[in-house]
Chains A and B, each alone.
Chain A
Amino acid sequence: MAEALSAPRFEMRGVSKAFGATTALDAVDFSVRPGEVCALVGQNGAGKSTLMSVLAGAITPDAGVMQLDGRPYAPRDPFDARHAGVAMIYQELSLAPHLSVMENIVLGVEPVRRGIVDRTRMREIAVDAMRQLGHDDIQPETRVAALPPAAQQLVEIARALATGCRVLVLDEPTSSLGHADVRVLFDLISRLKARGIAIVYISHFIEEVMAVSDRFVVLRDGRNAGSGLTAATNAADIVGMMVGRALDDLYPRGLRVAGDPILQLDGVMPGAATLTLRRGEILGIAGLLGAGRTRLLRAIFGLEPVTSGAISVGTYSGSSTPHDRWRQGMGLLSEERAGEGLALGLSIADNMTLTRLEPLGPAFTVLPSRQRVAAARWIDRVGIRCESARQTVGELSGGNQQKVAVARLLHHDVDVLVLDEPTRGIDVASKAQIYALVDGMVLDRKAVLLVSSYLPELLGVCDRIAVMSRGRLGPARPVEEWTEHSLLMDASGARAAS
Chain B
Amino acid sequence: MDRTLAVDGRVGRPGRIVTARRLLDERGVLAGLVIVALTFGALIGPQFFAAANLELMARQTAIVCVAALGMTMVIVSGGIDLSVGSIVALSTVVTALLLGRDGSAAGALVAALGAVAAGALCGALNGVLITQLRVVPFIVTLGTMLLVRGAAKGMSGERRLEAPATWLNDLLRTAQGGHGVLLPSGIWLTAALAVAVAFTLQYTRFGRHLFAVGSSERTARLCGVRITRTKIAVYTAAGALAALAGVLMFSKLSVGDPTVANGLELDVIAAVIIGGGSLLGGRGSIVGTIAGAAIMAIIQIGCSQQGLPNWVQQIVTGAIIVFAVALDRWRSKTLS
Interface residues in chain A, defined as those with a beta carbon under 8 Å from any beta carbon in chain B: 19-22, 24, 44-45, 47, 49-50, 53, 301, 303, 321-327, 332, 334, 336-346, 350-351, 354-355, 357-358, 361, 364-368, 387, 391-392, 394-400, 408, 424-427
With A49-B2, A350-B212, A367-B203 in contact, do A326 and B223 touch (Cβ < 8 Å)? yes
Q: In the complex, how many angstroms separate the beta carbon of B72 from the nearest chain A beta carbon?
A: 16
- A397–B205 alpha-carbon span in the complex (Å): 28
Residues of A within 8 A of B336 (CB): 394
Most buried by A among B13, B18, B203, B223: B223
> Which residues of chain A are near B5, meaning CB under 8 Å?
19-20, 22, 24, 398, 425
Q: How far is the CB of B198 from chain A (nearest CB, A)?
A: 13
> B4 touches which one: A21, A395, A425 (CB < 8 A)?
A425
Taking CB atoms, residues of chain B closer than 8 Å to A395 are 11-14, 18, 335
B interface with A by C-beta (< 8 Å) = 1-9, 11-14, 18, 202-209, 211-212, 215-216, 218-226, 282-283, 335-336
12 additional A-B residue pairs with CB within 8 Å, beyond A47-B2, A327-B224, A343-B220? A301-B222, A321-B224, A321-B226, A323-B225, A343-B212, A350-B211, A354-B212, A357-B208, A361-B203, A396-B11, A408-B223, A425-B5
A398's partner among B11, B204, B209 (CB-CB below 8 A) is B11
| Smallest beta-carbon distance A221→chain B, Å | 12
| CB-based contact A426/B219 at 8 Å | no
Nearest CB to that of B216 among chain A residues? A343
Smallest Cβ distance from B18 to chain A, in angstroms? 6
Judge whether B6 and A322 touch: CB under 8 Å: no
Q: Which residue of A lies closest to B205 (CB)?
A: A357
Residues of A within 8 A of B1 (CB): 44-45, 49, 424-425
**In the bound complex, how far is the Cα of B12 from the Cα of A427, in angstroms?**
13
| Known contacts A341-B219, A343-B215; is-contact A364 B8 (Cβ 8 Å) | no
Nearest CB of chain B from residue A454's CB, rounded to whole Å: 9
* Chain B residues within 8 Å of A49, by CB: 1-3
Chain A residues lying within 8 Å of B8, measured Cβ to Cβ, are: 19-20, 397-399, 425-427
Q: With both chains docked as a complex, state the minimum distance between the C-beta of A396 and any C-beta of chain B, in angstroms.
A: 5
With the chains together, A365 CA to B1 CA distance in Å?
40
Given A340-B219, A365-B204, A368-B203, A394-B212 contact (CB < 8 Å) = no
Contact B224 A339 (CB under 8 A): no
Question: Which residue of A has the minimal Cβ distance to B332?
Answer: A345
Known: A345-B282, A346-B215, A354-B208. A398 touches B14 (CB 8 A): no
* Least CB distance, A410 to chain B, in whole angstroms: 14
A394→B219 contact, CB < 8 A? no
Given A323-B224, A341-B222, A343-B219, residue A50 in contact with residue B212 (CB < 8 A): no
The answer, among A339, A350, A427, for a CB contact under 8 Å with B218, is: A339
Complex Cα–Cα for A468 and B332 (A):
41
Given the interface contacts A322-B223, A354-B220, does A366 sit within 8 Å of B14 by beta carbon? Answer: no
| Bound CA span A394–B333, Å | 12
Asked if B12 contacts A400 (CB within 8 A), the reply is yes
Partner of A340, one of B222, B224, B225: B222
In the bound complex, how far is the Cα of B41 from the Cα of A385, in angstroms? 48
- In the complex, 6 of the A-B residue pairs with CB atoms within 8 angstroms, ordered by the A residue number, are A24-B2, A50-B2, A301-B222, A324-B224, A343-B220, A346-B216
**How many angstroms between the C-alpha atoms of A340 and B6 in the bound complex?**
19
Contact check, B226 vs A323: say whether CB atoms are below 8 A apart.
yes
- Asked if residues B11 and A340 are in contact (CB atoms below 8 Å), the reply is no
Inter-chain CA distance A273–B107, complex, in Å, is 64
Chain B residues near A334: list those with CB within 8 A.
222
Residue pair B219, A342 in contact (C-beta under 8 Å) = yes
- A323 CA to B230 CA, complexed, in Å: 13
Which residues of B are found within 8 Å of A354, using beta-carbon distances?
208-209, 212, 219-220, 223, 225
Give the docked Cα–Cα distance between A417 and B56 (Å): 59
Whether B222 pairs with A20 at a CB distance below 8 angstroms is: no
Cβ-closest 9 pairs across A and B? A20-B9, A425-B4, A398-B8, A397-B12, A343-B216, A343-B215, A323-B224, A326-B224, A340-B218
CB distance from A270 to the nearest CB of B (A): 18
**Using Cβ atoms and an 8 Å threshold, which residues of chain A touch B14?**
387, 391, 395
**Measured CA separation A334–B222 after assembly (Å):** 8
Complex CA–CA separation, A338 to B223 (angstroms) = 14
Known contacts A387-B14, A394-B336; is A322 also within 8 Å of B222 by CB?
yes
Chain B contacts for A351, CB-based, 8 A: 219
A366 and B222 in contact (CB under 8 A), knowing A20-B8, A395-B335, A399-B8? no
Q: How far is the CA of A50 from the CA of B11 in the complex (A)?
A: 20
Taking CB atoms, residues of chain B closer than 8 Å to A22 are 5, 9
Q: Whose C-beta in chain B lies nearest to the C-beta of A22?
A: B5
Give chain A residues whose Cβ lies under 8 Å from the Cβ of B209. Answer: 354
Residues of B within 8 A of A339 (CB): 216, 218
- B12 A355 Cβ-Cβ under 8 A: no
Tell me the bound Cα distance from A336 to B282 in angstroms: 19
- B268, chain A: closest CB distance, angstroms: 23
Q: Given contacts A19-B5, A394-B336, A425-B5, is CB(A365)–CB(B212) below 8 Å?
A: no
CA distance A49 to B5 in the complex (A): 13
Assembled-state Cα–Cα distance A47/B1 (Å): 9
Q: Is the CB of A394 within 8 A of B335?
A: yes
How far, in Å, is A202 (CB) from chain B's closest CB? 14
How long is the Cα–Cα vector from A374 to B64 in the complex, in angstroms? Answer: 38
Contacts A20-B5, A366-B203, A366-B204 given: A396-B12 contact, CB under 8 Å? yes
